[in-house]
Structures are given as structure tokens and as C-alpha cells.
Amino acid sequence: MADVVTYDRDGDIAVITVDNPPVNALSLPVRQGLAAAFAQFEADSKAKAAVLICAGRTFIAGADITEFDKPIEEPWLPKVVAQMEACSKIIVAAIHGTALGGGFETAMACHYRCAVPTAKVGLPEVLLGLLAGATGTQRLPRLIGVKDALDVMISGAPMPADVAHKRGAIDEIIEGELLDGAKAYARRLLSEGALPRRISEIVIDPASLPDGFFADYRKDMARATRGFFAPEQIVKCVEAAVSQPYSESVLREIELFMECMASTHSKAQRHLFFADREISKIPDVPKDTPVRTLETVAIVGGGTMGGGIAMNFVNVGIPVLLKEVNQEALDRGLKIIRGNYEVVVKKGRMTEAQLEKHMSMITGTLDYDALADVDIVIEAVFENMALKKEIFATLDRVCKPGAILASNTSTLDIDEIAASTKRPQDVIGLHFFAPANVMTLLEIVRGEKTAKDVIATSMAMAKTIRKVAVLVGCCFGFVANRMFFPYIRESQLMILEGVAPERIDQVAFDWGMAMGPNGVSDLSGLDVLEKVRNEWIDRPDDRVFFRMITKLVEQGRLGQKSGAGIYKYEGRNAVADPAVAALAKAEAKALGVAQIDINDEEIIERLFYSMINEGALILEEGIALRPSDIDVVYANGYGMARYRGGPMCYADTVGLKNVRDAMLKYRKRYGDLYWTPAPLLEQLADDGKTFDQWSRERA
């Protein structure tokens, strides 16, 4: 028996312990150990019942995901759980921490389940583009009911112990020490004459479901699961659980699990699972790098962005000084923050008392000298280099030694900003995404002279305020916006070429974006994009570039905030505007832009392949550490569906040769200003490799 699973006995109670740090994942040695331990339990005449428990901080937290793309090695989990359930003597699962995925499937194979009050159980496979393929989709509906089981599996959200107990997934809540309580519970069951209780023997009566239940459920889940492959397969599995004998429905589950596993969706979602964990690894900033104390924060600029940034700190108990230029601006900023919290109160996620406590942690000031003792200052004014340099020169004068001076700039040169101070080592970029109190991404921009402890502190701070932090290098637009510009550029050109903005957006939406490029431009503010264009010193020498945005801003059409931009707005509803089509036609004529027929495939290629090529240039220049870091940026900051895996993963999926060849096709039409393949893309396409392979070879 493998050392990761041990067998002991306390009188007539066998204790089977899994100890596979850090989260007791169901790796091959664990599965082998479980199979051997339960065979020993079955043969042990002195053992009347068994308790399955785990060492460390959690029960079995799931499968070993690193095994997913490898050939199955026996015993695989469905066989292990079948062996466990078939035991002639009762088995009690003792759960602490989290029993998720295969861990919960293992617990459901036990005949009874007990847990500490803080435990959670669930089947989150859908988050990896999978379904619970070790009988989970068959057992959970039998255990807690079809509707509740579907809700758990489609959302991927875990059930707290009290909820699981109420629904019947957990039989006993153990107060106090888990092992002692579990053994006592097992002995009580024996004294009551309890027999093995096998979930597989429960039959779901189809008549217990309302007519049209599954059709209605599909309609209800459609919006939340739009575009994803796995949710529909989960519903099919549960339909089988209702309509077929257990042995047949398990075969159906295995069939659909394999389809999910082979899908590009699951591969993309698993890619992001690992990418989300990889972003914290910075080669020249070791994990043990000392961090600076961050107990007080100041924000310079109390507008929508500055207020949203302030809320992130207040929400975790860190007080904030909010600096504005005059009382009117300060009052307006505080009002915006209060309004944001009032929305949360109306939704029932915060009390009025909590609102007031949060607001009490924000102190307004008009005086830079009030910032003298704060640990970090985050500048959040609009994108203007001269203004930012003036602010940082002032901060350099008033802030204490060792204070971190951060800019929320989304595009501008951190090194130039840092040069306005005498402490460039303390300067860093913290690019929050709007709305800052909602969006999870934080692009951390290191300057040439940024100190390593400032980087380490910023990464730790991001975790504290619950952000997904990606470290990037310094260039105009960094990673996020530098790759966003080609996306908007091609959308703008296609409008001039006669493609309706709403069609471009629909194609992008159907592909997997939360919003299309034109809707998101209006949401961001066309005036904001125009200011960015004007600040871009090295922008392309191209009269067509962002031409429609420039003309619309000149007409006062700034986007949603002005009621009209690329679209006109009825409330928040975007409506196609014939005036924009007329403007595009006139501008195209003035610029000599031909009207052409463009199919949906071309829309996708031009939007996303242009972005991918820019990503390849970014990787060559060392602005991003890894292709997967770029993917995390786009999955978390721009609403790119996780089933696409991010732009670089998507490029690997379609094949870099196909991306390169499409680039060459458009170069013939438009010239080489934008459509020359990046050298890295060219090389990988020639070699038949992927961005992922390139990254692994360099690691």
C-alpha cells in the first residue's frame, strides 16, 4: 500500500487516512492506496466499520489535474468508488476543509458522511470545462434531488456544511475533534444496526419532476452558461440519471466526460487554471523577498476610478486618504463611493451600518502634506503625462522615505513618471480596470528601476484586496491596452469599410466576448480613447487609425455617458444609429477606404489575429513573462470567455501557422504597417510549435 494512504484500527473501527499534501489530490498513488486499504478493510474480520479521513488542512480537494492529459492509469476513480460502495461493512467519510470534485465523489461512495461545521463540498468540474465523471452526476441527484444537484454542478459553487446537511449530502455535523466524532458516529450507527447505504440503489422517479423540467432548466441556465460546452453535457447526464438504470447512466456519464475532456473548451479552461497560479512566479523576485508594510493608503484623484480603487482597500479594512483639488471635486468623489455602496445595500449584500463604517474609513483632503505618513500613494488622475509628472514630483517632496508611489496609468511610461522623482526605485504602475471596485484584474507595471521589494509588496497587496495581479514591463499600453488597440483599430476600419458596428459586436459576442469592441469603446468613453491616442507619441502614421472615434468625439458623442457614441442609447440599451453609418461612409470616401464584403470569419481573424500578433511582439520584447500571463489579462480584464483560454491559448488552438498565413493574406490587402507577422509568430509557425511549447522550453 502506498504511504499516502494508511490503514489503522481503533477497536472495531478501521481508520483509513489519506495524506497527500498539499490538498490530498487523487493522484495515482492515492487511488492505489484507497483500493488497497478498502480491500484490507473488507478482509479485516475485526473491523466492523471504517472511517475515511484526511490529514492536513483539507479532505480530498479533487483530482490531480496534471494527470488529465495523460493516459488513464488503473485504478481510475470510477472503479475505486464502485469498490468502496460495494463494501459489505459501513464506511463513514469524515470531512474537513473542502471535499470537491473527485473528493466529493469519493465521499459519496461512502455509506455515510459527517463533517465539521466549516467544511464545504461540491462538484466544481464545470469550471474546468468538465463534468463530475466518477459517478458524481449520477450520485448527487439521487442524494439531494435533481434541481439542487443541477444547481450545484452547473454553478460549480461549493455547499457549506450546513447547507449540505440540510439537503442530505452530509448526515452528521461533528462539533469538536473530527476523528473522535467520526468514530463515535460510526459506533452509533453500528449500535443502531445500520447497514451500508448505497446511493447507486436510489431510484429517481421521473414523475417527481414537473413536465418540461429539463427544457425549462436549460432556458434558465442559458444566459449564465452562454457558449460553454460542459453545462449542457451535465444536464444530459442528469437526464440519464432520471431515465436510465444506474449502470447505464454511469456509462453515459463516462461517454460525456470523455467528450468534455477532448473539447477545446476544457483544454482552454484547464490552461487558465494553471495560468492563474503561474502569474505569481516572478523569476527575479523570489517568494521570500521582504515586503513593505502597507497599513495606510492615499489615492490622488477622487473620480470614478479613484473612488473605485479606494473601495478595494476599505473593503478589507485598510483606511484611505482621498486627495482632490477642491472641495467640490472631493464631495463629488465621496458621493460616488457612497452611491456604489448603496447599490450593494439594496442588493442585500451590506447593511446600512456596514456602509457607514466603510465610509468612515475614507478621509478626504485637499492638502498634499496630509499624505506625508502614508505607506502607499496611488495616483488616479486622467491620462496626461505632464499632469502625472507634476503630481509625482510633489509626492516625492511630501511622502516619507520608503513610501510606494504608484500610478494607475493605463498606457503611459512608468519610467518617465519615475524620473520626475528622486526615488525611481519606489515607483510602480498599478493599472486597475474600470470599474475598479468590481473588476478583478490588476496590471502591475515594473519600471526599469523599480525595487524588487516594491514589486513583491505590490503583488502581496493585490492578493490582500482580492485582485488577480499580473506583472508586466513598461511600454505604451503595457500588455492589456497595447493588445486592445489593434482590436479596436480593426473594428474601426471595418466600420469605414461598410460593416455595421452592431454586426461586428454580435460576431465578437458570439465568439465569446462579454461585449463587442464598439460597445466596450462606448462604455469606456470615446473621449478617453481619444486622449490615449493623443498621448501615444509613437502612434502609427495612419490617417485612418481611430478616425471614427476622433470624428464622433468632435461631435460630442462620447459614448454611454453622453447618450451617444458609436451607438445611441436608450437608457443603457445600445441602438444602431444611421447617422454613424452615414458618417462612416463619408469618412471612407474622404480617406479613400474601399467598401468591401466581409464575412464573419474575417471579422474574427482581423479582431483577434491582430491582437495575437501584438502579443507575440510583447513576448519577444519581454513585456510579458509568459504567454499564459497575457491570457490571464484578457480572461480577467476584458471579458474574454474562459473557454477560449485567452488570445495566446486561442492562437495555439487554431494553429500558429493558420494565424501567420492569415496575417500574410491581410498584408497583401493592407500593406505591412500592421500585418507583418511578428518574428516569434513566424518562427513558431515554421517550426510547427505553439506559444505554450515555446514558454515551457524557456522555463
Of 25, 19, 190, 161, the residue nearest 92 (C-alpha): 190
Residue partners of 339: CB distance under 8 A and separation at least 6: none
- The grid cell for 450 is 523599480
* 377 beta partners: 298, 405
Angle at Cα 617 formed by Cα 613 and Cα 619, nearest 5°?
A: 115
- The grid cell for 102 is 473527485
* 365 beta partners: 323
Marked catalytic residue, from 42, 74, 85, 105: 105
Cα–Cα distance measured from residue 546 to residue 676, given in angstroms and rounded to the nearest whole number: 20
- The grid cell for 430 is 498599478
Whether 535 and 417 have beta carbons less than 8 Å apart is answered as no
Could you tell me the CA-to-CA distances from 360 to 90, 276, 312, 356 in Å, in that order?
A: 56, 34, 14, 6
Cα–Cα distance measured from residue 149 to residue 293, given in angstroms and rounded to the nearest whole number: 45
Residue partners of 285: CB distance under 8 A and separation at least 6: 452, 455, 456, 459
SS3 label, residue 425:
helix
Whether 125 and 230 have beta carbons less than 8 Å apart is answered as yes
Cα–Cα distance measured from residue 393 to residue 584, given in angstroms and rounded to the nearest whole number: 43
Length of the chain: 699
Of 125, 10, 3, 152, the residue nearest 65 (C-alpha): 125
Cα–Cα distance measured from residue 144 to residue 553, given in angstroms and rounded to the nearest whole number: 56
Marked catalytic residue, from 85, 125, 587, 602: 125
In the annotation, is 255 catalytic?
no
Residue partners of 630: CB distance under 8 A and separation at least 6: 479, 483, 615, 618, 619, 624, 646, 647, 648
Cα–Cα distance measured from residue 408 to residue 382, given in angstroms and rounded to the nearest whole number: 9
- The grid cell for 338 is 457612497
Cα–Cα distance measured from residue 345 to residue 337, given in angstroms and rounded to the nearest whole number: 13
What is the sign of the dihedral through the CA atoms of 407, 413, 416 and 422?
A: positive
- The residue with cell 470615446 is 526
Cα–Cα distance measured from residue 325 to residue 302, given in angstroms and rounded to the nearest whole number: 9
Residue type, 526: L
Residue type, 73: E
- The grid cell for 535 is 498621448
Q: Where are the alpha helices (DSSP H) in 44-145?
A: 77-85, 102-109, 136-144
Report the phi/psi class of residue 659: left, alpha or beta, with left for phi > 0 and alpha for psi in -120 to 50: alpha
Which amino acids are annotated catalytic?
105, 125
